[in-house]
Homo-oligomer: A and B are copies of this chain.
Amino acid sequence: VACDGGQQSVIASLTASQASTLVVRRGSVLSAAQSDLAEVIGLRPALVAISTTVDRYFGSELRSALGRSRCRIVVIPTGEKRKSLETVTSIVKVAIDMELPRNGLMVGIGGGITLDMVGLAASLFRRGIAHVRIGTTLVGQVDAAIGLKCGVNAGGSKNSVGAFHPAELVLTDGRFLGTLELDHMRDGLAEIVKLAVASDLNLYENLSENAQLLLEPTTRDCAEARAIVDAAIAGMMRELGTNPYEAELCRRVDFGHTVSGAWEVATRYRLTHGQAVALDVALFSTVASFLGTLDPAALSGILSLFERLGIRTWHPVMNDTATLFGGLRSAEAHRGQRINLPLPDGVGNTWFLTDRADLPDKLLIRACALLEAHSRNQEVQLHVSKG
C-alpha cells in the first residue's frame, strides 16, 4: 500500500487572500483635553509600549492623556542590541498576563527600534492583532512607522527576523521631535535624503532649501518642516503602493540599504542606522557617477547636502573590504539571489543593476577611496576656515 514515487494528486485547494488599508494621520498624542490616541483606543483594551526615552520626556503627559482609557502602559528597553526576539517575547508576555483579547490593541510609541518590536509583537500575539504606530523620532516617523515591516536582529544579522504586519493607523505628531538630539534628527534626514535621491526631485530641492529647519529644535514642527516630513511619508507610501509585501525585489527604497546593515553590525552598532544609510547613499551615488548615470555635479550636490546637515559620508569601516563584500553577498541573498541594486539615474530616479558580476570589486574600492579623500579634504577645508 506504499505510494508510487513521482505520482501526485491534488486532494484539495483554496485561494487565500488578505487585505488591509494603511493610513497615516497627523494628530496630537499628548493633549490632556483631547488626545487623538485616546480617541483611537476608545473602549478597547490596549497595551501601550513606550521607549524609555518617551517615558522620560513624555511619560506623565502621556499617562494623563490616556487616563480614561483601559490601557496598560509598559516601558521597553531600546538599542540595537536589545532589538531581539527576547524583548518582543517580553511584550507578548505582558499581553498574555493582561489577557489582551483578539480585538484588543497594541500601540508602539518610540523610535524605529520600538516600533519594529511592537509591530512584531502585535503580529505574533494571537497570530496578529491590531496595532498603532507612533514614531517619536524622525526615522520613526518617515521610515519605521510607514509600511508593513517589523523585525528584530537575530543570529548576528540585522532585521533577519520579522513580519509584514500593516498597522491599523500610523499617527504622526511633530511635538515629539522637539526633544530629539541633533544626531537623531540627522538619522532621519539621512533616510529622507535617500528617498529624495532615489525617487523625488521636488523633495530633494525642498531639502536643499529647508532641511536646516528640522535641525533647529524650535522649528522642527513648523509648516515648512512638516511639509518635508509629509512629503517623505507620502513618497515612502508611494513606493510601497504597488509592492507592499515585496513580491517585487527591485525596490527603490532599498537605496541606502545595501551594505548599511553589515556596517552597523561590523561597528557593533556604534554606527547608527541613519549614519550607515548615509554612507551607503554616498557610496552608491559615487558608483552611479562612475557608471555614468549621475553627473559629477549631482554627486557633489548630494555629498554637500549631507555635509551641510552634519552627516558624514565616509567612515573607516568602508575600508573593511570583507564587510563590504559580505554585505553585498547578504543583500543578494535577501533580494532573491540577485543584487538588484538601486542606483541613481540623476537625482530623483533610479535604475537597477541586476547582477553582482556587473559591479567590479575595484570600482567599489575606488568609490570608497574617493569618499575618503573627499572627507579628508572637507576636514582640511574646515580646518583652514577655522584657522
Contact = CB atoms under 8 A, between A and B. Distances in A.
Interface string A47-90: 00000000000000000000000000000000000000100010
A19 B20 contact: no
A233 B2 contact: no
Interface string A19-41: 11111111110010111100100
Given A96-B156, A163-B123, A7 B27 contact: yes
A23 B16 contact: no
B101 A332 contact: yes
Nearest to A336: B103
Contacts of A123: 163
A111 interface: no
Interface string A148-160: 1101001111001
A219 B241 CA distance: 53
Given A27-B3, A28-B4, A163-B128, A14 B96 contact: no
Given A3-B175, A163-B124, A11 B35 contact: no
Nearest to A218: B1
Given A8-B26, A18-B19, 11 more contacts: A1-B174, A2-B174, A5-B36, A8-B25, A12-B238, A13-B24, A14-B21, A89-B161, A96-B156, A102-B334, A124-B161
11 contacts: A5-B28, A6-B31, A6-B36, A7-B27, A11-B24, A12-B234, A13-B23, A14-B21, A16-B166, A16-B245, A127-B164
Interface of A: 1-28, 31, 33-36, 39, 85, 89, 92-93, 96-97, 99-103, 123-128, 148-149, 151, 154-157, 160-164, 166, 172-175, 219, 221-223, 230, 233-234, 237-238, 240-241, 244-246, 249, 329-330, 332-337
